Structure 1
Amino acid sequence: MPTDLPAVPGVSPVLQVPFHSDGSLDETGFDTVVTRVLGTGVRSVMFPGFASEYHKLADDERGRLLEILLGHTRGRDDVCAIVAIHDHGTIPAVHRALAAAEAGADALNLLPPHFLGPSREAVSTHLSAVLEAVAPLPVVLQYAPAQTGTALDAATIGRLAARHPNLRMVKVESQPPHRLVEALATGTPSLPAMIGYAGVQLPAALEAGAVGVQPGCTFTEIYQEIWDLHHDGRPGEARDLHARLLPYISTWMQHVELIIAAEKLISVRRGWQESEHCRVPGWTLDRAERQSVDRFLSEFADRLPGVTA
């Protein structure tokens, strides 16, 4: 995939990691997840993210899963593999970023350090070090204040992009996202933004100029349809479909571990993996939450091939 990352808009799912019921890694299941998600026609995927339970993976597991993903994407010019760098320490973050680039990542997703409340200056220094080390590989900066407490602003991000042209995009997970999306687009340099947070605010973000959405991966087809409707000049239909999806994603996004668990159950019901196991500490779905997944699958079964009762 060429390194012109802004040319890769649209739905960019974060890949889920399946585990066996004993908590061990399900590599076959992950291979199926990658195959099924790429089969929806998306032009990019991201791994690992919060939806991948990256914080519960050992380094060797993470490396093996990355090898499986890049085995699908390496050498292809129709899909972009965005590899996430979450390390808090600058030296390990640089090492991991360089290793991902060497392995065949098409772009990186960079999460700012946040443990123990580093200063804005310290955060900027960390980000600059990684950006410089991997240039010209394109980088997406992940802005997730609710999950990390990191509070950069558009001006700070713009200064980083001015110094490091390979900072090509920002993943905005603030709520509401449209203000930062607009501020980034009108800044100098202008920066495109995609949104995360399960696309809860997707219609408003699209109206503000968002170039992509990065949700979980188990019902990618619905996000694709919303995206296509909007860009085919049918924004009313896009909003209507999103309005049907919204009660589910807004409920599940009350806690990140909750939507991870819900998506694991959806994945099992679609035949992608055998177990809905989430590594601990995690979330165990109760009766009402499982019923919400049942209702969701019943309502959208016609859009989700493979769904079983």
Structure 2
Amino acid sequence: MTRLTEAAKGVYVIAVTPFHDDGAIDMESCDRMVDFYLDAGATGLTVLGMMGEAPKLTVEESRAVVRRILTRVNGRVPVVAGVSAPGFAQVETLSKMVMDDGASGVMIAPPGALRTDDQIFNYYSQVSEVIGDAPFVLQDFPLATGVQMAPGVIAKIVNSIASCVCLKHEDWPGLEKVSALRAEGMLERRISILCGNGGLYLPEEMERGADGAMTGFAYPEMMVSVVEQHAKGDMDRARDLFDAYLPLARFEQQPGLGLSIRKYTLARRGIIASAALRRPGAALSATARGEVDRLIERQEKRLKELN
């Protein structure tokens, strides 16, 4: 097992959970999905995230999915598992389960009831006691959780809790937060910052000091390319590639429909067998599917022009 560290960088793709049309988990599609993500250049995978439909799985199903993905990955890249839950009992159980099975770390979002900096800090202090020495990703996603984490409280958590090795930055707008956390004197140690929001702001986030992305998009090769071109110092090329994918990335970020669009595109690419979401979940209309198809056609045309 490769443990997650402050040096994490690149693209940690948020994996979907494939289902058959009847709602049963499709393990064969899990295998193809892992192969696809790794072939696309992912440096890590994150499973059971908010876009992985984790709340719709039983504990037994969650463990089965994690085990299947870990087996398929076979140690080639780190695997992070989301263990966010309303209570510490669930967080502790899920963390021990996935770490025992070989996960590299866990990801934890704050519960929505937290409001003050002290409440946020105390929550993560207690979480660190509950999960022991498991390295964890601090998920900052106020649009989903309703919890606003200022740079100061994030810095306090990082400076006080050694097992916090990565920030999943998903504030929106949030570029100034990345700059604040990278400013000299803010953090006593440099941790990894991996960004979300479907990669919509990835070029700017990389230039602000992010280490990569931890998010989903039906074309993860876009995020891989942006990170690679940034490392080479060729941001013009990074932006050209990003711009080719941007219309579809924008379309995929629609609240309430984003996962349906992502799964439809993955199924269209032959990565997963079905675009089904487990109930409750919205399916795409024929009109929406046609819109995705046209965006993909225009994307492919633009990529041919670039290459």
TM-score in terms of structure 2 length: 0.90
**1:39 shift after superposition:** 2.3
Which stretch of the first structure deviates more once superposed, 203-212 or 283-292? 283-292
Give the aligned partner of residue 59 of structure 1. 59
**Cα contact 2:29–2:272 (8 A) shared by 1:** yes
**Cα contact 1:15–1:217 (8 A) shared by 2:** no
Aligned pairs, how many?
A: 300
Which stretch of the first structure deviates more once superposed, 11-20 or 235-244? 235-244
One-letter amino acid matched to 2:180: A
Which stretch of the first structure deviates more once superposed, 5-14 or 278-287? 278-287
1:111 lines up with 2:109 in the alignment: yes
**Cα contact 1:222–1:303 (8 A) shared by 2:** no
**1:154 shift after superposition:** 1.4
Give the aligned partner of residue 266 of structure 1. 265
1:125 lines up with 2:127 in the alignment: no
Which stretch of the first structure deviates more once superposed, 102-111 or 209-218? 209-218
Any gaps of 5 or more consecutive residues in structure 1?
305-309
Give the aligned partner of residue 94 of structure 1. 92
Matched ranges for 1:1-309 at <5 A = 2-3=2-3, 5-74=5-74, 76=75, 78-114=76-112, 116-117=113-114, 120-186=117-183, 187-189=186-188, 190-255=190-255, 257-301=256-300
The C-alpha deviation readout for 1:103-133, integer Å capped at 9, x for no partner, is 111111111112x456543443332222234
Distance in 2 (CA, whole Å) between partners of 1:177 and 1:288 is 33
**1:217 shift after superposition:** 5.0
One-letter amino acid matched to 1:88: P
SS of equivalent to 1:229: helix
The C-alpha deviation readout for 1:33-55, integer Å capped at 9, x for no partner, is 11221222321110011221112
One-letter amino acid matched to 2:40: T
Distance in 2 (CA, whole Å) between partners of 1:134 and 1:158 is 20
SS of equivalent to 2:271: coil
The C-alpha deviation readout for 1:154-210, integer Å capped at 9, x for no partner, is 111211122211111111111122111112222122443111010111111111011
**Cα contact 1:14–1:46 (8 A) shared by 2:** yes
**Cα contact 1:11–1:43 (8 A) shared by 2:** yes
Give the aligned partner of residue 307 of structure 1. none
Any gaps of 5 or more consecutive residues in structure 2?
none
SS of equivalent to 2:111: coil
**Cα contact 1:84–1:109 (8 A) shared by 2:** yes
SS of equivalent to 1:169: strand
RMSD of aligned residue pairs (Cα, Å): 2.2
SS of equivalent to 2:168: strand
